[in-house]
Amino acid sequence: MDAFWLIPALPLASAGALLLSAGRMPRLWAAGLGVASVGLAALCVALLARDFLAQPGVRQITLWTWMAVGDFTPRIAFYVDGLTLVMMSVITGVGFLIHLYSVEFMWEDASLCRFFAYMNLFVGAMLILVLADNLLLLYLGWEGVGLCSYLLIGFWYRDPDNGRAARKAFIVTRAGDTAMILGLFLLLTELGTLDIQALQVAASAQWQVGDTLPIVATALLLGGALGKSAQLPLHTWLPDAMAGPTPVSALIHAATMVTAGVYLIARHYQLFLLAPPTLEAVAWIGLLTLLLAATTALAQNDIKRILAWSTISQIGYMFLALGAGAFASGIFHLMTHAFFKALLFLAAGAVIHCLHHEHDIFRMGGLRTRLPVAFWSFVIGSAALAALPFTAGFYSKEAILRAVWDMPGSGHWLWAGGLLGALLTGIYSFRLVFTVFFGRAHTEPDRRPGWKMALPLGTLCALSLVGGFFALPLAGVFPARDHAVVNHAVEYLGIGVPLLGLAVAYLLFLGRQVSIAALLASPVGRALQALWQQGWRVDALYDALLVRPFTGLCHWWRKEPVDLAYNAVIAAAHWGHRGLAALQSGQLRWYATSMVLGLILLLAAVLRHAA
């Protein structure tokens, strides 16, 4: 499989065809093209993976050098190693299942063609992001997925709220991207290259561990990662991004795009290893995010928002792993999370699809018997999310917690935080299951999911169960970690805490041995409920700190000095134009005179110099 350039080319070509058809393509063709291109890309990845496993080793290909001016040679060049392969498998594999699912979910939408065009474009851009062998190309993919995310969040653009959510996602991630591009400039000026591998070699040679420059550079890259992966303090866009169609939430805002930040850090791990303070910050940001998001998820009523906050929280775990230096564990969790979170979103989509677009979990209930497919998907997905033993999530989360415990310095504190997060995860995920699928029914489903929905759900169920046994080909990518003596108490706690969470959820939401109403009625309970429901009021905080001062300033400046500067530029340009245009009299004698005058000036200048 040498022609792995086909992998991103297929979805991109299909996106191009769909876009150029301007919606005139028959629905069946559009859907078929959209699904088949990603399916073929997945097939190519599988072939490449077979090759790779038989004969491991880095594969590189330079497709096209845009130009070579001086030292500057932007290239379309791809780089495949174990990490790329894992990412590509997730993107195309899960992507294919979600595309298939979308055919049924979106079938009645008038803009089916546009939907598949954007989805394919996204898959292509995401593949470019993970395949890129230089940061410039990676940035192209990075911005490409950002654009697709914007387009798809605002897919139903006739509702202004969706447009607002799309803009919010775009602008918030832009803040991170600005930091990232500054980081790119810094790396380019300091190291003279943007080739990821060459850059890391140069960095290791030029910089010492703990120097200022690598810390600044990695902090700037981290800024980009925080925006894209929705981590504190740039996480506020992700819950609102649920305005998009559910398959979009599953693919972009759960399984793939939001993990781009994790990929970015893992890809540049050598750089980050030179900057221990940044890595420490990554760990703490991950921990804070995961706790904040988990508590928030506890108090939400919207099924998709619960899942969105849980995504933020799970990516927090990945950041925690990266911060602890357990890069392979972070990527492992990225993969298992892609399986079970896609499963949960798709199952939620099936519920929403069959319940007249109902999102409130308290208006659902009793769906266990009515939508068995969705129910079992949810049970398996939630079990994996809560890391109950023998699910995929269990193995990856265990690996993270063990690695964090071994981390020198603040490791034990981080571990305790992670464990608390696991408890919360157990509670909120089964709160969702018990509320939606048990108890009294509030809304009757008007249809059942068909095979195009059931097949992806079944496949993802299987992956969520057995995904923990996959051995990722990451051996050559990340440095080997020496395993400290396994502390059995740590292991038992890691196994027990999620079960405890399940038990708490059972007591509160199913058995009702403990009254949740009484808890909520207490002043503390009420305050926490209000605080958590609004995600610790971060949005309100940003509104007060950033948005209102900014709009206030704008309002205040409306016709004032800032405009004067712009008007002055315009006036100067007009004035210059009029002055110069006055010289264009059209008269030959003046033209000739001006030539002579010009010549005299020129000669005078030369003579004055000579004298």
Partner 1 sequence: MNAADFQALLPLLVLSGGAVLLMLQIAFVRGVNRSAALATLTLVLAALSCASAVEQAPRQVTPLLVMDAFALLFCAVFCLAAAVTVLLSGDYISYHGDEPEEYFLLLVLSTLGACVLVSANHVASLVLGLELLSVSLYALIAYPNKSILPLEAAIKYLVLSGTASATTLFGFALLYAATGTLAFDALGEQLTATATGRPMLLLAGAMVFAGLGFKFSLVPFHLWTPDVYHGAPAPVTGFLASVSKAAVFLVLLRLFLDADLFRYRILVELTGLIAILSMLAGNLLALLQTNIKRMLAYSSIAHMGYLLLVFMVCIERDNRGLAVEAAAYYLIAYIATIIAAFGLLTLVSARQVEREDVQLQHVSGLFWRQPLLACLLLVALLSLVGVPLTAGFIAKFYLVVAAVDGSNWVLLGALIVGSAIGIYYYMRVIYYMSRKPEQQVSQAAPADGLAVRVLSGALIVIILLLGTVPQPLMAYIRSIL
Residues that bind partner 1 (CB under 8 A): 64-70, 72, 573-574, 576-577, 580-581, 583-584, 586, 588, 590-592, 594-595, 597-599, 601-603, 605-607, 609-611
Query: Among residues 140 and 510, whose Cβ is nearest to partner 1?
Result: 140
Identify the helix (H) or strand (E) that includes residue 65: strand 59-65
Least CB distance to partner 1 at residue 599 (A): 5
Query: Among residues 107 and 590, whose Cβ is nearest to partner 1?
Result: 590
Q: Three-state DSSP class for 63?
A: strand
Least CB distance to partner 1 at residue 577 (A): 5
Residue 511 phi, psi (nearest 5): -70, -30
Least CB distance to partner 1 at residue 580 (A): 5
Identify the helix (H) or strand (E) that includes residue 252: none
Q: Report the C-alpha gap between 42 and 44 in whole angstroms.
A: 5
Using only the alpha carbons of the chain, give its radius of gyration: 28
Least CB distance to partner 1 at residue 575 (A): 9
Query: Among residues 53 and 597, whose Cβ is nearest to partner 1?
Result: 597
Query: Among residues 544 and 606, whose Cβ is nearest to partner 1?
Result: 606
Least CB distance to partner 1 at residue 563 (A): 18
Query: Among residues 554 and 603, whose Cβ is nearest to partner 1?
Result: 603
Q: Three-state DSSP class for 229?
A: coil
DSSP states of 35-55: HHHHHHHHHHHHHHHHHHHHS
Least CB distance to partner 1 at residue 66 (A): 7
Q: Report the C-alpha gap between 411 and 403 in whole angstroms.
A: 9
| Total count of residues recorded for the chain | 611
Query: Among residues 62 and 212, whose Cβ is nearest to partner 1?
Result: 62
Query: Among residues 514 and 600, whose Cβ is nearest to partner 1?
Result: 600
Least CB distance to partner 1 at residue 558 (A): 24
How far from 325 is each of 256, 411, 471, CA to CA, in Å? 22, 11, 19
Least CB distance to partner 1 at residue 278 (A): 31
CB crowding 355-393: b at 16 or more within 10 Å, else e: beeebebeebbbbbebbebbbbbbbbbbbbbbbbeebbb
Give the HSE-up count for residue 431: Cα atoms under 13 Å, Cβ half-sphere: 25
Query: Among residues 205 and 607, whose Cβ is nearest to partner 1?
Result: 607
Q: Three-state DSSP class for 371?
A: coil
Q: Which residues, at least 6 apart from 384, have a Cβ–Cβ distance to it below 8 Å?
A: 336, 339, 340, 343, 391, 392, 393, 394, 464, 465, 467
